Structure 1
């Protein structure tokens, strides 16, 4: 009899400890479930939950309806115009006539820009990207003319469709980009310290050769360096290299 009472008393004292342990396990399980649900929540599901809770707990809250902005893109970005393009074309034509290597360069208008096209054969060996000594000197003269111009500038290199067999470049894309960077670097070394955008087009723009280029020498002009001066004041952009 006394042993049964002692057993009942022991069971009574151990029951609260088991309940506490069970509650602790439940809390730990709940915690890990919450962590898992927070890590795997999707935006749409969470958006539906937030909307439902907002409607239930604050039905009188003010709503905000987004209205699309109808202003044209030209009003949202301010692009300060550079030098007048007609004046710029005339100025560069006179400057290039004074440079023996670039006397035959083509200067023409294309949309909102002035393009100075220089045959790559005057500056580089066939399918190479090392600037010739005469071209380096001419680049220094050209930099002296361009440094006074406030327009944003791009340098775009073009090649013909002939494959590269000298092993120096993997494709005409790489060759054109390297040539554009070399010309930009030569201008920067000569004192043109403003940002320059460099582009390599390989042979993808040869069908769009301007009428300003000689129709009898399209093979020669296919490999060319275009210095493009845009009707915007120069400034930083995502593709500025130098």
Structure 2
């Protein structure tokens, strides 16, 4: 039998090209690259327009970000740094400043409208109330930056107080009694100032003087308003001005200088008075603390803690 080789069989397989779903991945990478480039150029632009102080704050932030972020700053409103926190405090944007200014202007307008309505109501009362019609010449009502000022002015024919005294005359009491319920209708608080002419006392400022008299007259007016129904806590300040603020163009001894001034305060003026009071309290507390250290510390010294003072001395 003749030998024969087996036939060679060649099998060719065609590869099928499978479409994958990631054929657009390069677009995402390209978009990420463009975003990074835009951010880079934004950072470069911000650095180019920043002043040296802002650049220093920026460098401090990246050197110690935690310390800068947690630092409260000296004054939160005195912001000059672009980084929250830091030595200068938080940045106040232009929008925030505009917003605060708008709120402030809105409050001022509201105050002015409220006080203008009060002025109109008092003017109407002077016309409609028979008790006050003859007293219109004694009342001067004007709008000033700090509020609505109502001045009750004396005259030679009708003095408001007994001469040299803080006792209120009947017609002055009628004016205050008529004003009290109207003043209650507005939320604004008020201050009362007393004024006198320059008629001196025998001892001048060394004894009872126009300073005491003007203050006592202002306080008598306060009592009369409260008795007529003025709400408690409505008055924030009583002051005596003596003869230091005369009416314009009036002689120093003119009766018009003897007057009581009721000032219905704007909220801004009230805040200034309260701020002044808070600052005075802070100074008083600090001074008291320092005095306590001086007085108490020696008393608590170990060698004197159980010392019994001599009889009759402390």
Q: CA deviation at 1:62?
A: 4.7
Query: Does the alignment pair 1:139 with 2:169?
Result: no
Check if 1:178 corresponds to 2:216: yes
1:110-125 map, 5 Å: 110-121=144-155, 122-125=159-162
TM alignment of 1:147-226, pairs within 5 A: 147-165=184-202, 170-194=208-232, 195-196=234-235, 197-206=237-246, 209=247, 219-226=254-261
Contact 2:153–2:258 (Cα < 8 Å) also in 1? yes
Higher strand residue share: 1
2:142: which partner in 1? 108
Q: Equivalent residues in 2 for 1:22-101 (5 A)?
A: 62=67, 64=71, 66-68=73-75, 69-70=77-78, 81-82=110-111, 84=113, 85-97=115-127, 98=129, 99-100=132-133
Rounded Cα–Cα distance in structure 1 between residues aligned with 2:154 and 2:225: 16
Aligned mates of 1:192, 1:158 — CA distance in 2 = 22
Counterpart Cα distance in 1 of 2:191 and 2:223: 13
When the two structures are superposed, what TM-score results if normalisation uses the length of structure 2?
Answer: 0.46
Q: Deviations 1:3-47 (Å, cap 9, x if unpaired)?
A: xxxxxxxxxxxxxxxxxxxxxxxxxxxxxxxxxxxxxxxxxxxxx
**Matches of 1:166 and 1:123, distance apart in 2:** 24
Q: Aligned with 2:163: secondary structure?
A: coil
Instruction: Provide the secondary structure at the position in 1 that maps to 2:116.
Output: helix
**In the alignment, which residue of structure 2 is the partner of 1:33?**
none
How many Å separate the matches in 2 of 1:100 and 1:217?
28
| 1:228 partner SS | strand
Q: 1:150 touches 1:233 (CA, 8 Å); kept in 2?
A: no
Kept in 1: contact 2:197–2:253 (CA 8 A): no
Where in structure 2 are there 5+ consecutive unaligned residues?
A: 1-65, 79-91, 278-314
Deviation at 1:222, TM superposition (A): 0.9
1:228 Cα offset (Å): 0.9
Whether contact under 8 Å (1:140, 1:190) holds in the other structure is yes
Measured on the aligned residues, the alpha-carbon RMSD in Å equals: 3.9
The structure with higher relative contact order (CA 8 Å, sep 6+) is 1
